[in-house]
Structure 1
Amino acid sequence: MGIPLPGEIGERAREILAGRLAPVPARDAATVVLLRDAPLEAYLLKRQPTMAFAAGAHVFPGGSVDPRDTDHAVAWAGPSPAAWGEIFHAGEATARGLVCAAVRETFEESGVLLAGRDAATVVADTTGDDWESDRLALIGRTLSFAEFLDRRGLVLRSDLLKAWGHWITPEVETRRFDTRFFVAALPSGQRTRDVGGEAARVAWMRPEAAIEAAESGEVLLMPPTLHTLTELAAFETIDDVFAHDRTITTVMPSAAEVDGGIVLTVPGLDYRGALAGRASARAERAGEARA
């Protein structure tokens, strides 16, 4: 079973499958699943309907790696770029850019900053006109992330991130991203805010509620977002998520011709199975409590 690819994108897929059209290269990108507890919820942004990529979809904060994200001037605390490279099977420079982009894009798209004065502290509040001015300067690329951290005497806290996944946009798309997924807990004292820009609205949602909303057609979730939420639906708390022994595998949906039509196949995508597993685990825990 796959996702039908009708019209223009279906014809593009046929051309690529036939070798008559070369796919565009994928750009390095990072995405961060912000989480909070009681109950476990994820932060989602609904992209503006006018966006060129994933228009109208609910997504996690994230975006492309800026060339300046690989700058060694970025103040750093936590696992090194080399260590992240081993996790993501990437070179040290690429890994540095991915982690920096993850932290920078999270701040740009949610106002949450995974940084502190040193390796043991985290910024407690990022509200106020001065923070907003810096956030807009980062978005406008008139300020680099290295300059932003240096100006405020902060270090990026890479230890506040956990590697979660690796998705590559299908070759049939005209805009493609080689995206590493991270998870992170909302730091104590900080709060997300509706920062506008690419987002039409923002919301905290339980993973299973977001999945059910997608199934009913209330929200649009791209396959990587849906897949990630199905995985997170199996956990009760942020501690459970971070304690999970995670192995990163690369997933790239692919187009195929089936019964004369073109479909997109997504390996391992089974949101119904995830919900069923969540319900089973809850029932088991309830039985243990009664016993």
Structure 2
Amino acid sequence: MPESFRGRVEDIRAGRAEPVPARHAATVVVLRDHERHGLQAFLLRRVRSMEFAPGAYVFPGGGVDPRDGDADLAWSGPAPDEWGRAFNADGTLARELVCAAVRETFEETLVLLAGPTAETVVDDTRGDDWEADRRSLLDRTQSFAGFLDRRGLVLRADLLRPWAHWITPKVEPKRYDTRFFVAGMPEGQRARDVSTEADQVSWVRPAEAAERGSTGEWMMLPPTIATLAELAEFDTVADVLAAPREIIAYEPTAEIIDGEAYLVLPDSVARHYR
């Protein structure tokens, strides 16, 4: 870790400083099957002006909005309590996480996991009216529940699957308690080229992306590399969605080793680094 972290590691370990509370967040790995390249994941490169992880390749996602827990929105799929059992969360937080996952994915990519009925999904989100909705969600002048209600849409929680749970190390000045979801790209929709938070996007095979991240060619946080490495073991979107998952919360630690600050990763994650 940078030399600047050494003092903070020592202060936290000695009780002279308190870790920043971790904000609940959700992220979605959007996947597709490509005719020539096989399974691909969608990644955004965060603009270098961002406060958290500037220049890093990430999946769409972000923090929970207080209004994400609105119980009035139309919902199809596993109930919040079922999501809560998967992610070790109560029903209220689970609802917030699922809504945040769908909302943030739409805000950053225009991919919308919702449809006119519980069995259908929006087939195209391009156009000025959709862009206006995206911006109103970004600036919080419209709630996600209000957006779905006005358009007569049902949130398709059944299109998501729980995948992982990562917590930012206590030494970091900005922390997130993030649940990872996976979802297939809805037929007919197209992901947005860039967003206000990203300057580049890529559809890439998980194995290739994990390789670029582990060698340092692409800047990535450990949870991104670990998730991509896990997804590299699958051939199709259907295989990923059908895979059984036991969600374990990972929280890397910071340690002083030989006088320098190091980030210590779980063994199952560290093996992906070279």
Per-residue displacement from partner, 1:188-224 (whole Å, max 9, x unpaired)? 1111012420001111111111122224432101000
Unaligned stretches of 5+ in structure 2? none
**How many percent identity over aligned positions?**
57
Q: Is the 8 A contact 2:9 2:256 kept in 1?
A: no
Matches of 2:6 and 2:258, distance apart in 1: 14
Question: Secondary structure of the residue that 1:28 maps to in structure 2?
Answer: strand
Name the stretch that deviates more: 135-144 or 8-17.
8-17
Offset of residue 272 of structure 1: 6.2
Q: CA deviation at 1:97?
A: 0.2
Which residue does 1:36 correspond to in 2? Answer: 32
Work out the CA distance in 1 between the residues paired with 2:45 and 2:7.
28
The 8 Å contact of residues 115 and 155 in structure 1, kept in 2 or not, is answered as yes
1:196 and 1:86 map into 2 onto residues whose CA distance is 33
Query: Counterpart of 1:49 in 2: which secondary structure?
Result: coil
1-structure distance, mates of 2:71, 2:64: 14
TM-score (normalised: structure 1): 0.90
Across the aligned residues of Structure 1 and Structure 2, the Cα RMSD in angstroms comes to 1.2
2:210/2:226 contact within 8 Å kept: no
Say whether the 8 Å CA contact 1:28–1:64 is kept in structure 2.
yes
Partner letter of residue 13 of structure 1?
Answer: V
TM (norm. structure 2) is 0.96
Q: Which residue of 1 aligns with 2:138?
A: 139
Counterpart in 2 of 1:66? Answer: 65
SS in 2 for 1:68: helix
Alignment of 1:128-207 (within 5 A): 128-207=127-206
Q: How far did 1:18 drift?
A: 1.6
Instruction: Name the residue aligned to 2:15.
Output: 19
Asked if structure 2 preserves the Cα contact closer than 8 Å seen for 1:24 and 1:175, the reply is yes
For 2:170 and 2:186, the matched residues in 1 are separated by 37
User: What corresponds to 2:272 in structure 1?
Assistant: 271
CA distance in 2, matches of 1:51, 1:9: 19
CA distance in 2, matches of 1:13, 1:186: 41
Residues in 2 aligned to 1:232 and 1:166: alpha-carbon distance in whole angstroms:
15
Deviation of 1:61 (Å)? 0.1
Moved more, 156-165 or 193-202: 193-202
Q: 1:6 Cα deviation (Å)? A: 2.5
Q: Which letter maps to 1:27?
A: R
SS in 1 for 2:165: strand
1:285 corresponds to = none
Q: What is the one-letter code of the residue matched to 2:227?
A: T
4+ residue segments displaced more than 3 Å: none
Look up the SS of the partner of 1:30 in the other structure: strand
Contact in 2 for aligned 1:24/1:174 (Cα 8 Å): yes
The C-alpha deviation readout for 1:91-130, integer Å capped at 9, x for no partner, is: 1110000000000000001110000111100000000110
* Whole-angstrom CA distance in 2 between matches of 1:162 and 1:151: 26
Whole-Å separation in 1 of the counterparts to 2:80 and 2:195: 31
In structure 1, runs of 5+ residues without a counterpart are 274-291
Which residue does the alignment assign to 1:281? none
Aligned to 1:96: 95
1:226 deviation in Å? 0.5
Corresponding residue of 1:7 = 3
Q: Secondary structure at the match of 1:189?
A: coil
Count of residues paired in the alignment: 269
- Distance change (3 Å), C-alpha of 1:247 and 1:215: closer
Alpha carbons 1:111, 1:195 under 8 Å: kept: no
Partner SS for 2:4: helix
What aligned pairs does 1:39-54 form with structure 2 within 5 A after superposition? 39-54=38-53
| Structure 1 residue 260 displacement after superposition | 2.1
